[in-house]
Structure 1
Amino acid sequence: MATSLSSLQCEINGCKRGAVALCLHCSNHICTKHFQEHTQMINQQLHPLIDQLNKLSNKINYLTIADVIDPQQNLEKWRSESHRLIDEIYEKKRCEIEKLIEQDFIKQKNEQMKTIIDLKQKLKIWSDENETTSNEVRIIKQTLEDTEASLLYFQKMFVQIETKPLIIDPDFVFVQTRFITKQQPVHDVSFHLENLKCTNVKTLPIDISEWRLRYCANEEHVLVYNGTSHLYLYDTDLNFIKRRKIKDSYYMDHFERYDVIDMCWCESLKKILLLTDNHLLEFALSNDRIEVIHTVKRQHNFDFSSNFYRCTCSNESLYISYPNGLPLIDEYDLSTFDFLKQWTSPQTCDANAWIESIRCNYSKKQLGLSIMKAREQRIDLREIKTMNFVWSTRIEDVKYLRGLYPLRNNEWFVIESSDDGILFHIHADGTLTSKVKYNGKKRRPILLFN
């Protein structure tokens, strides 16, 4: 049965008046007096807000270039650091010169003085005896000439310094503006991948369907799976080393599906993790051994077609995602491969979205997620321990975002798969800064970085 306001008492402490309204500000039933006081209190809060707004408006209105943090400060800092480096090299070499002089100068000088003293003694003897031969005079002249030449050489060549011109590349200093807006214009850049300076990018020609190509790299090797029953190992210059068969008698007894759908380098284990539809394989390059990790299994009760899809790892955990619209990420302990937790929506992505790619940024302990949702494609960054949201960047007018790769300085690369492939460069703050076109029909980019 509903209670009328007339039967309620004002809920403000000490007030015995009847309630006339429900205050949405404090969620209490209040009388007319306290209703007016609450209304006045709320209205009074507007005045400082108006003052604050006016002050902010004046700041923006009178903002000048001089008020902006001087961009030349960074340039001056670079200049000072460069000069400091030159001064350090100069001081080091100056000390080397002083050390050489201290060690050898007195020795060289004394040797020359000894020659002069010996010659003086001979001249005095010959002069006193007054019996000098023409041959002795010739020897004296030759000795004087040799000593004088030696002195001249000593003065000019005692310490030799060879310098090389200091080469300053204008690209050492990169200048750009960065607008704080919701959507940044993306600059088209067209050049060869080999000239890309923000990472070490190489290309590997492989004549197969692009969707079947999988690869990963460490500081020494690149492992490539091209959709066949073999793995191909290269060095970081993409020189072929060897071929390794995945399926042998050992694996045929355990499972039939052996297509590698994703792989990642595990720094803490010093091994490559290979993900198939139903299994996780551990590949040790040191002994060429592949083992099945039996504790890693599907952790959901959906249809059987929703098998494993993508994997990545931090220094402590392994993360596996699923396809077919499942916003799930399974977390395993890397030391034991025991199941720890299943992350789901909204901690991973929207309930009606799914994760196309997942990669870990070791240095920042963050997960990059390539999210697919109807016609929307975006890159989300989340904290690795809590899945707390960091930033999200929507990428427009693309067919299919497939590859996601962390770079140095906490930046990211995204690969769009099509005949006219595009590499998207995302800044550490989530700003989409540039895109690089490449011939995706003929070549697939292999990104190598520390």
Structure 2
Amino acid sequence: DRNKLINDFRQKLDKWRDDSYKKIDLIYEEKRKELEQDWTERVAKPRKGIDLMQSKLNGLIRKKKATHEDISRSTTAIRYIDQKIKDIEQKGIQMNIPTLFIDDNLTYIKESKIEETDEFQLLSSYRSIDCSAQSGVAFAANNENLLIYESDYLNLLNRDLVPIQQIPWRYGHIYDMSWSATLTNFIIITDKKIVYLINESSLSLKVIQSIPQEKWWSSTCSDKSLFLSTYGTDANIFQFNLLSSFELIKRWRSPDTCREYESIHDINYANETLALIITDSSTKIARLEVRSSTTLTQFWSFALNINHISYQPSIHCCQIKYSEWIVIIENTSNIFHISKDEKLIRRRISWAGIRVFRNWIRSQLRPNTKLCGPR
């Protein structure tokens, strides 16, 4: 229905606008407090100093203990400080407020047809980050920032891959992380079976107590739900409500998730669908399945032309424009580009190491996309 589609788009656009206003208001409040603190340090405190000095001098005069030298020295100091304050008040506080830049391409309307000339191209990297595959790397991105786990540290970078903040991580090896636009927090799962909320601004963490301890392996978020899959064969998928303190909505078990001898290597939400990377422990064959995010009904499946065994690098997927999918096999040269009607558009074999592409973050990947390196 046309009106429903338009209303849905408007709601998403309104939510994006409201979230942007909240972020602007937050920055405004921080800068306002900084301004008040700066004014206090430069003007209010010296004024109190003058009042205190004048009070002490008056006390000495009343007690007839003040010498001419005391009076002269105090008067000179008071006049000097008073002149400094007047200079500051006259010049004012110099502020550099740059114009807010908003990229028109942050939101876009998808075309209904795919032109042959608009085929996905893997461009040369604008910037890259060297990562240590031995220690394990995990990524998650939103429209503004990128969170990276490597060598027992969490690193927050901006869209130009410039470091913003770093904190040590001592809470177990991170298997996966994802971004929740609804909560404006990162979600992290570890080998300790614990799920954490990570604040984007401060990188402070909070254990999500309502989520049970399971062998969590992969995570993804919709606007309303958090989906978690478990490690190993006979994998389960849990759905938790983001809007009601992570209340459990549903738990899917085998054979609804996969067969008892199969594993789920990755789970990724996009447009009311869940993409699953499933591997068969008996045949070693991997496949991409796209399913309904509400019922797990399979829409289509694509067999990846690779043999995969448990100790090999993981496989990850993400949706790009036109409901197409990218599948990446870590630490190999394999990148699959798959159409929305389960056809292989291109298989790229020029992947060299682990790199984060700025062009992907800005134009290809969805805001909730996970970018993951070796677990």
Task: Tell me if TM exceeds 0.5.
Answer: yes
Amino acid at match of 2:133: S
Q: Which residue of structure 2 lines up, in the alignment, with residue 444 of structure 1?
A: 355
SS in 2 for 1:409: helix
Give the distance between the partners of 1:175 and 1:221, measured in 2 at CA: 30
SS in 2 for 1:395: strand
Contact 2:235 2:263 (8 Å CA) reproduced: yes
Identity among equivalent positions (%) equals 23
The Cα shift of 1:397 comes to 2.8
Q: Does 1:351 align with 2:225?
A: no
SS in 2 for 1:367: strand
Distance of aligned partners of 1:229 and 1:285 in 2 relative to their CA distance in 1, 3 Å threshold: same
Give the distance between the partners of 2:220 and 2:305, measured in 1 at CA: 26
Alignment of 1:311-390 (within 5 A): 311-335=219-243, 336-361=245-270, 364-374=271-281, 375-390=284-299
Amino acid at match of 1:229: D
- Alignment deviations for residues 260-292 of structure 1 (CA, whole Å, 9 cap, x no partner): 110001011111101112111111113432111
Amino acid at match of 2:123: E
- Alignment deviations for residues 385-419 of structure 1 (CA, whole Å, 9 cap, x no partner): 1111100000113555522111122111111123x
Which segments of 5 or more consecutive residues in structure 2 lack a partner in the other structure?
Answer: 1-113, 367-375
CA RMSD, 1 decimal: 2.5
Which segments of 5 or more consecutive residues in structure 1 lack a partner in the other structure?
Answer: 1-171, 178-188, 196-200, 248-256, 300-306
The Cα shift of 1:337 comes to 0.9
2:340 corresponds, among 418, 428, 436, to 428
Q: Which residue of structure 2 lines up, in the alignment, with residue 208 of structure 1?
A: 132
2:152 corresponds, among 229, 249, 255, to 229
The Cα shift of 1:329 comes to 0.6
Give the distance between the partners of 1:288 and 1:207, measured in 2 at CA: 20
Give the distance between the partners of 1:225 and 1:353, measured in 2 at CA: 28
Q: Which residue of structure 1 lines up, in the alignment, with residue 176 of structure 2?
A: 262
Give the distance between the partners of 1:203 and 1:439, measured in 2 at CA: 15
Give the distance between the partners of 2:190 and 2:165, measured in 1 at CA: 22
Amino acid at match of 1:285: E
Give the distance between the partners of 1:402 and 1:423, measured in 2 at CA: 10
The Cα shift of 1:174 comes to 2.3
The Cα shift of 1:175 comes to 5.5
Give the distance between the partners of 1:263 and 1:415, measured in 2 at CA: 17
Contact 1:370 1:401 (8 Å CA) reproduced: no
Contact 1:320 1:329 (8 Å CA) reproduced: yes
1:416 corresponds, among 329, 332, 346, to 329
- Which of the pair has more CA radius of gyration? 1
The Cα shift of 1:296 comes to 1.0
1:309 corresponds, among 214, 217, 220, to 217
1:217 corresponds, among 133, 138, 141, to 141
SS in 1 for 2:123: helix
1:406 corresponds, among 300, 306, 319, to 319
Q: Does 1:243 align with 2:138?
A: no
Give the distance between the partners of 2:138 and 2:117, measured in 1 at CA: 36
- The number of aligned residues is 240
- Alignment deviations for residues 123-157 of structure 1 (CA, whole Å, 9 cap, x no partner): xxxxxxxxxxxxxxxxxxxxxxxxxxxxxxxxxxx
Q: Which residue of structure 2 lines up, in the alignment, with residue 291 of structure 1?
A: 206
